[in-house]
Chains A and B, each alone.
Chain A
Amino acid sequence: MKAKRRVVTSATGERPGLAKRRPTVRRIKPAIAPVVRRAPDIRGAVSSNSAASATSTRISAAPQKPVATAPDVDVDLSVDLGRGLVLANPILVASGTFGYGTEYADVVEVQRLGAICCKGTTLRPRIGNPTPRVTETPGGMLNSIGLQNPGVDAVIAKYAETWAGWQVPVIVNVAGESVADYVEVVRRLEGVPGIAGIELNISCPNVGKGGLQFAIDADAAAGVTAAVRRATDLPLLVKLSPNVADVRPIARAIADAGADALTAINTLSGIAVSPSRLRPLLGNTYGGLSGPAIKPVALRIVYEVSQVVDIPVVAIGGVTELADVLDYLAVGAAAVQVGTAIFADPTLPVRLVDELAAECRRRGLTSFAPLIGTALPKRAAAPSSKGVEYRP
């Protein structure tokens, strides 16, 4: 309970643009679409806001002067992912690339991140896949860790207390082989101090349905989301898989089933061949492709999904610099996760926070909300051939 209260407390800050969202209501006014179409109005509203008026006058006095890397005192980077999960900034670290937040603590100012998505956690301990588990590919990498983790109870015992003392919210990434698995993991996480939210990894084979992934079937994805939703009051993010023909009906089904936000995207399925050309390189044959190589795919999916759901979309895929963050915001993302790039540059996520604040200042903005959705279609798009209706 302590963790949740801490998160909600930080929600009292000004959140122009996204402020209309009521955290505890499942389906509410669009968090993103209005910002797109009325960006100038929002900006006007922000500058007339009493809290921000001093700031905005200062900015209008010297609009072009870039502020270097000072902490974000006058730019509000906070973002509401729903159900009281308000992040201090929209830069998250992606599940599987940052361990449990403690591994990089020597070299990274962990507390300055928007949130940490921890390593995928399952009900029982998992030993993971045979090695090799990772390999570099052009512009990216393949991984097939196989969800190695000590199990939810061990994760809680080992890390929850540390997390509870942290300012940065920790979102536990949950994986399972059946709906019951997911529900049980989430039930054990419910109410544990230090756990700020859940991110469902639904790109796991559903053992009950012949190994078909939850993420590739709208009904299965909605089913597991609804079951987890019933089991917890924690903020719930659901991570979409790109390995589908059309992600929009799946995203809609998940949103309708009660997810608070969507994460897009998980890795793309791929393989590499060993140098001897006698076998696939990875011990598990298949791996997940991540890194800059998948950014165009992720951009496309965020672009599509953010137009058909009313809940925030957290973008992930190949972020290596501020331009990538701005691209994702432009196609409708409310926040961005950094993953593979951390391996090369562990300090990147924290630097992106500073750079995003500086960029807002440079543009004379007191919040990054006006940057969201600027590249989305300006008018209500015609219904797609799949029959997805547009909802203003």
Chain B
Amino acid sequence: MRLAGAELLDSREILPDQWLQTYHAPELVAGARAGQFVHVRTGDYSGLVLRRPFSFNTIDTLAGTLTIHFRTVGRGTEWFTRLRPGDRVDMLGPLGRPFEVDPRTQHVLLVAGGLGIAGVRSLADEAIRDGRQVTLLFGGASARDVYPSSLLPDEVEYVVATDDGSVGHHGFVTELIPAYEAWADQAFACGPLGMLRVLSSLAASRGRRLGVAKLGRKRGAGRPVPAGSPLARRKAFLQVSMEQNMGCAVGACLGCVVLSTAGAPQRVCREGPVFASEELDWEGGW
């Protein structure tokens, strides 16, 4: 975790109310991995007191740049859209735990709901770099919300579902899962809670429905995997990137928790944002 200045290089509205910004922040990019995030300070004095967390949308270690992708939902995100190239912001990062891809995984399934694309986008780059095949299932409300394919690597198979059927599959993105779950070795998802909940139940029953052997049966069979460890995530079929309102983003304020199956609150900023889906309590807890 480092605190560093970042210079805005490029800022554009890629979709209505959705922005993609490129920052030059070599200190933060070094060692950053897909799934982690930065906590960015608003430089305004008009009453914004909290930083804003953004997933690494893409990470370019060589150039020392990162991109963030966000929707303008309030005064904080609007403040970011008014920044101009050359402006500097204060970033804290890289924060949180990354996605863990099993070394034996060949087929990577990414599932994004709306702005959840920001959470899994950089994993596409990472997986392709490591020679894996990547399919991205994207769900949006309508054609105007669909992430532009021009912003994805050519190697990615991109499948779209829209609620109104204006482009791609007519329905929820989760309805596309049966066509891909047998192909996929591991899946990684980010999006609305409802979507993640459906995915998690699909993942839980996947082994039974498909009759597939679980990864990791040979190596470390019978040895317990410590909950929340990188190994636990690596062995999970589905890893999810969770979202919560955040205060400090370093684990001090306990504002951003989700419940584990053991009933223990897990900090999204510290133990997450990436969790093995079977480690989370999807029934609501509390």
Tell which of A79-87, A137-145, A185-193, A364-372 binds the partner.
A137-145
Q: B255: which of A134, A345, A346, A347 is its contact (CB, 8 Å)?
A: A134
Flag if A134 contacts B252 (CB, 8 Å): no
> Which residues 253-268 of B sit at the A interface, judged by CB distance below 8 A?
253-259, 263-265
Flag if B51 contacts A343 (CB, 8 Å): yes
A53 surroundings in chain B (CB, below 8 A): none
B245 surroundings in chain A (CB, below 8 A): 131-135
Flag if B92 contacts A346 (CB, 8 Å): yes
Tell which of B42-50, B218-226, B231-239 binds the partner.
B42-50
Interface of B is mostly: loop
Flag if B48 contacts A136 (CB, 8 Å): yes
| CA–CA, A143 and B248, complex, Å | 12
Interface of A is mostly: loop
Nearest A residue to B49 via CB reads A291
B265 surroundings in chain A (CB, below 8 A): 127-128, 148
Q: A340: which of B49, B258, B286 is its contact (CB, 8 Å)?
A: B49
Nearest B residue to A120 via CB reads B254
> Which residues 197-255 of B sit at the A interface, judged by CB distance below 8 A?
244-255
B258 surroundings in chain A (CB, below 8 A): 131
Interface bits A283-299 vs B (CB < 8 Å: 1, else 0): 10000000111000000
Flag if A344 contacts B252 (CB, 8 Å): no
Q: Answer whether residue B170 sits at the interface, using C-beta atoms and an 8 A cutoff.
A: no
A99 surroundings in chain B (CB, below 8 A): 248, 250-253
| Distance (whole angstroms) from the CB of A40 to the closest CB of chain B | 36
| Distance (whole angstroms) from the CB of B76 to the closest CB of chain A | 7
Flag if A119 contacts B254 (CB, 8 Å): yes
B50 surroundings in chain A (CB, below 8 A): 134, 136, 141, 343-344
A106 surroundings in chain B (CB, below 8 A): 1-2
Nearest A residue to B48 via CB reads A136
Flag if B3 contacts A346 (CB, 8 Å): yes
| Distance (whole angstroms) from the CB of A187 to the closest CB of chain B | 25
Flag if B257 contacts A133 (CB, 8 Å): yes
B2 surroundings in chain A (CB, below 8 A): 106-107
Interface bits A346-376 vs B (CB < 8 Å: 1, else 0): 1100000000000000000000000000000
Q: Answer whether residue A163 sits at the interface, using C-beta atoms and an 8 A cutoff.
A: no
| CA–CA, A175 and B265, complex, Å | 19
> Which residues 83-118 of B sit at the A interface, judged by CB distance below 8 A?
90, 92
A342 surroundings in chain B (CB, below 8 A): 248, 252
| Distance (whole angstroms) from the CB of A154 to the closest CB of chain B | 12
A143 surroundings in chain B (CB, below 8 A): 247, 253, 255
What 7 additional pairs, Cβ within 8 angstroms, besides A136-B48, A341-B49, A346-B250? A99-B251, A127-B286, A131-B244, A131-B257, A140-B47, A145-B253, A343-B49
Q: Which residues of A contact B (CB under 8 A)?
A: 96-99, 103-104, 106-107, 119, 127-136, 138-141, 143, 145, 148, 283, 291-293, 340-347
Across chains A and B, which 6 residue pairs bring their CB atoms closest together, nearest first?
A: A99-B252, A134-B255, A130-B286, A139-B47, A103-B252, A106-B1
